[in-house]
């Protein structure tokens, strides 16, 4: 943190940072007054191809072209909220359409964050993201690609990498339930099956992220060496130890849990969602105490894009200091997305992803909900 701070940018890179920097002849000066400069924010768990409403019906009633158009608007909204880098954790049935959105952003055709994309997530038959609840005779497509063993996992992964995926997203647990105050969730893949997926991704220098909410699936994921355990509602002592040892990130995604609890269809469903959230908060505090590395991801999509800075507030509310939340977002987020040394800090040689807010996020991380200036790669998108 430098106050006052100046940043010198040439092209898409930062050249100099300090209380004052040299001002070459002809340089454009952008004076943001007493606002705080930060690296562009990072959301490590998003869904560009989802919007508020019934998730399952979106994939049935909306065509992939329609959903792709919506995804471009979502990408713009996230960028304008200050999120200059994101990890899209599955298109929910739109296949590799996220590759087209990522490439269009990279080519400067549409505004949006830097993206790491996964295409469809991978799921077992009858698993968490199967088309549960519909008449089976209708053969409604699942929101994920099926793989029921290690060989099928590898085959699906190779197809996804061929279609442009940067990483692989696997559903490891679900559906979740709470009985007598105890959380439970079935696992979908064994440790050996996940290890086969991690090895196949590693062959190409890629990584695997898992949707994993509880034991023993979370332990299998940690043993296999995944890059992140997303949601991480319940982690055993051994799982937490392994995640700390291997530097596997937990991505809590509190915002989606809060949103579902507050927008439930019935009072009974709301009570269940709140009970799950309460258990999650207790577990989160244990994870912090155990030194589990954290990254920030909101699961935005089922709630409105551009509003996911709520995740910073909730992580601070439930046990982390504002500084620790910022470090989890910017430093750990850069590592998780594979852009360490490129984004997440205002340093010479880094990409010029810069945002500004009124106030001091180290005192009130909620100020990140109102980003007033956005630059990505040296281009100003909001001023």
Domain ranges in the chain? 40-339
Q: Is the pLDDT of residue 178 over 90?
A: no
The whole-number pLDDT of residue 60 equals 87
pLDDT per residue over 43-60, tens digit each? Answer: 999 999 999 988 888 888
Confidence of residue 179 (pLDDT cuts 50, 70, 90): confident
The whole-number pLDDT of residue 138 equals 85
Buried b (16+ CB within 10 A) or exposed e, 103-127: ebbeeeebbbbbbbbbbbbbbbeeb
Give me the chain's average pLDDT, please: 96
Would you say domain 40-339 falls under CATH 3.20.20.140? yes
pLDDT per residue over 241-267, tens digit each? Answer: 999 999 999 999 999 999 999 999 899
Q: Percent of the chain beyond pLDDT 90?
A: 89
Cα distance between residue 265 and residue 169, in whole Å: 28
Which pTM value belongs to this model? 0.97
Q: What average pLDDT does range 60-82 have in this prediction?
A: 97
The whole-number pLDDT of residue 140 equals 84
Cα distance between residue 240 and residue 229, in whole Å: 11
pLDDT per residue over 296-333, tens digit each? Answer: 999 999 999 999 999 999 999 999 999 999 999 999 99
pLDDT per residue over 81-95, tens digit each? Answer: 999 999 999 999 999
Using alpha carbons, select from 173, 190, 270, 307 the residue that is nearest to residue 231.
173
Using alpha carbons, select from 360, 359, 340, 361 the residue that is nearest to residue 351.
340
Q: Are strands 371-376 and 379-382 parallel, antiparallel or unpaired?
A: antiparallel
The whole-number pLDDT of residue 287 equals 98
The whole-number pLDDT of residue 135 equals 83
Q: Is the pLDDT of residue 1 over 90?
A: no
pLDDT per residue over 103-115, tens digit each? Answer: 999 999 999 999 9
Q: Are strands 371-376 and 354-357 parallel, antiparallel or unpaired?
A: antiparallel
Q: Which pairs from 256-260 meet CB under 8 Å and 24+ separation? A: 256/298, 256/299, 256/300, 256/302, 256/303, 258/310, 258/314, 259/302, 259/303, 260/302
Cα distance between residue 232 and residue 252, in whole Å: 6
pLDDT per residue over 180-235, tens digit each? Answer: 888 999 999 999 999 999 999 999 999 999 999 999 999 999 999 999 999 999 99
| Other residues' Cβ atoms within 10 Å of the Cβ of residue 221 | 34
Q: Which residue has the tokens 């290690």?
A: 150
Cα distance between residue 314 and residue 363, in whole Å: 14
Using alpha carbons, select from 302, 365, 374 the residue that is nearest to residue 114.
374
CA 252 to chain CA centroid, nearest Å: 10
């Amino acid at each position: 943190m430098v106050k006052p701070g100046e940043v010198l940018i040439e092209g898409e890179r930062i050249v100099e940072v300090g209380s004052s920097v040299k001002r070459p002849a002809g340089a454009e000066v952008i004076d943001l007054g007493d606002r705080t400069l930060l690296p562009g924010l990072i959301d490590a768990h998003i869904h560009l191809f989802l919007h508020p409403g019934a998730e399952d019906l979106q994939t049935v009633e909306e065509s992939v072209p329609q959903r792709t158009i919506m995804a471009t608007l979502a990408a713009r909204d996230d960028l304008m909220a200050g999120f200059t880098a994101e990890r899209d954790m599955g298109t929910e049935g739109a296949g590799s359409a996220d590759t087209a959105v990522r490439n269009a952003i990279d080519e400067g055709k549409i505004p949006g964050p830097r993206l790491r994309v996964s295409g469809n997530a991978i799921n077992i038959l009858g698993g968490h993201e199967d088309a549960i609840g519909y008449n089976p005779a209708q053969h409604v497509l699942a929101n994920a690609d099926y793989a029921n063993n290690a060989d099928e996992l590898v085959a699906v992964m190779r197809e996804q990498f061929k279609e442009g995926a940067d990483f692989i997203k696997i559903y490891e647990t679900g559906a979740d339930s709470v009985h007598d105050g105890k959380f439970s969730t079935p696992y979908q893949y064994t440790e050996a099956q996940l290890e086969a997926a991690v090895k196949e991704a590693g062959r190409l220098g890629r990584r695997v992220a898992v949707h994993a909410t509880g034991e023993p699936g979370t332990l299998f994921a940690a043993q296999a060496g995944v890059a992140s355990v997303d949601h991480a509602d319940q982690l055993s002592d051994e799982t937490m130890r392994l995640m700390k040892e291997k530097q596997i990130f937990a991505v809590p995604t509190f915002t989606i849990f809060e949103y579902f609890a507050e927008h439930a269809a019935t009072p009974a469903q709301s009570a269940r969602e709140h009970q799950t959230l309460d258990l999650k908060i207790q577990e989160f505090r244990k994870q912090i105490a155990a030194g589990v590395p954290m990254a920030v991801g909101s699961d935005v999509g089922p709630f409105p894009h551009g509003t996911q800075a709520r995740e910073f507030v909730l992580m601070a509310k439930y046990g982390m200091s504002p500084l620790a939340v910022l470090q989890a977002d910017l430093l750990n987020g850069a590592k998780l997305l594979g852009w360490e040394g490129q984004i997440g800090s205002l340093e010479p040689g880094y990409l010029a992803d810069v945002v500004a807010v009124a106030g001091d996020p180290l005192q009130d991380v909620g100020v990140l909900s109102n980003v007033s200036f956005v630059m990505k790669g040296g281009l100003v998108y909001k001023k």
